């Protein structure tokens, strides 16, 4: 029996896109055909090509409530028409929306056509695009126990789909050309890097550990994923620190597998990967993130005891002490255990189960 096609509507950032890729792989393993819909020319199209996934691009206007732009409204309207025509041709059995402004045309067009829709909310606060699709969605799946904006009766926690792969520590360190003895600190600013972390963290850590990367009896080493466009500037910044390695992009599985703790933003994918690998976090939420969702995410992790939130405005004063608190083994062990309690292991299977439940009409 040939199983039907499921469309995954997503776009904007890696936090919206990579869970869709994970679900596509799981559904394909169960015998379904999949297609991704998102913004033409956006990150989602590039990732779909890299992952060899079927992709249909549409126009997408970015919603900015503080400064409405008629051109963006027009692009969004055109995208709805393009998405509607695509869905009419493909006739999928269901559409799964992952949020981001580029997901709206696919999800709302499906609802207008009577195609069952599911939502997956990766953050601790429901985003604007998801709120617009909430009422007509059959199921709302979440990554957190509580998501502001989703009625508890409608929410089904499945977790955040991540790549479920680990390496032994020695293999991970070898892949990254790191040493086996020092404490390993991962600095990661998201899928495209963080200029704020790039410009501030090296100096803060050098102030703590000096030119030799030492603090008392401890030695440290840093692997900093700075984003490709910032690599030349960063390489020049740390060229005299042998213990501070920068890279445009990093093998994420290797990095998370050997990190003793990490300094990061608070995007949903980053937090989920840290939880899966049991890595304590020092989180610096992006203040301009939509709906301030990164602050909500970080607070949820902090409440669980798996990390500490540091407001961007307090980075210089608060990060040094937070780093020092992560050095003792006991503190890291406690936070690591708390992080594992948030682990999304099995999330993609649970999300696929929800899709099949909708298809059955349960």
Q: What's the CA gap between 53 and 27, in Å, rounded?
A: 12
Binding site members for UDP-N-acetyl-alpha-D-glucosamine? 13-15, 123, 163, 191, 294
Q: What's the CA gap between 85 and 49, in Å, rounded?
A: 22
Angle (deg, nearest 10), helices 70-90 and 104-112? 60
Cβ proximity of 120 and 158 under 8 Å: yes
Binding site members? 13-15, 123, 163, 191, 294
- DSSP letter, residue 125: B
Q: What's the CA gap between 186 and 208, in Å, rounded?
A: 16
Please list the alpha-helical segments (H only) found in 128-267. Answer: 128-134, 169-175, 195-209, 231-237, 252-258
Cβ proximity of 198 and 234 under 8 Å: yes
The strand pairing partners of 8, in sequence order, are 36, 96
């Amino acid at each position: 029996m040939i199983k039907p096609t499921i469309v995954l509507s997503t776009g904007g950032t890696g936090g919206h896109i990579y869970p869709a890729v994970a679900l596509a792989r799981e559904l394909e393993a169960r015998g379904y055909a999949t297609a991704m819909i998102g913004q033409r020319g956006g990150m989602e199209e590039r990732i779909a090509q890299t992952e060899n996934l079927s992709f249909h691009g549409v126009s997408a206007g970015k919603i900015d409530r503080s400064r409405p732009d008629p051109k963006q409204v027009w692009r969004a309207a055109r995208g709805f028409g393009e998405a509607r025509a695509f869905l009419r041709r493909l006739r999928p059995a269901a559409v799964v929306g992952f949020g981001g402004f580029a997901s709206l045309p696919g999800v709302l067009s499906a609802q207008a056509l009577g195609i069952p829709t599911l939502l997956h909310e990766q953050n601790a606060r429901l985003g604007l695009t998801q709120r617009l699709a909430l009422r007509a969605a059959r199921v709302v799946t979440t990554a957190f126990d509580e998501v502001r904006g989703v009625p508890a009766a409608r929410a089904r926690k499945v977790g955040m789909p991540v790549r479920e792969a680990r390496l032994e520590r020695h293999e991970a360190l070898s892949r990254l050309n790191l040493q086996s003895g020092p404490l390993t600190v991962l600095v990661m600013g998201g899928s495209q890097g963080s200029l704020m972390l790039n410009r501030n963290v090296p100096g803060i850590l050098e102030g703590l550990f000096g030119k030799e990367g030492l603090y008392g009896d401890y030695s440290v080493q840093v692997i900093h994923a700075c984003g490709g466009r910032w690599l030349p500037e960063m390489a020049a910044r740390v060229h005299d620190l042998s213990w501070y390695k920068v890279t445009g992009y990093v093998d994420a599985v290797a990095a998370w597998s050997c990190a003793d703790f990490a300094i990061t933003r608070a995007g949903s994918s980053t937090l989920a990967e840290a939880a899966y690998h049991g890595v304590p976090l020092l989180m610096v939420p992006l203040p301009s993130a939509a709906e301030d969702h990164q602050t909500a995410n970080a607070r949820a992790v902090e409440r669980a005891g798996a990390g500490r939130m540091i407001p961007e405005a307090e980075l210089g004063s608060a990060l040094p002490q937070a780093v020092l608190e992560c050095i003792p083994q006991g503190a890291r062990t406690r936070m690591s255990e708390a992080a594992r309690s948030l682990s999304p292991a099995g999330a993609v299977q649970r999300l696929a189960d929800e899709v099949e439940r909708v298809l059955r009409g349960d």
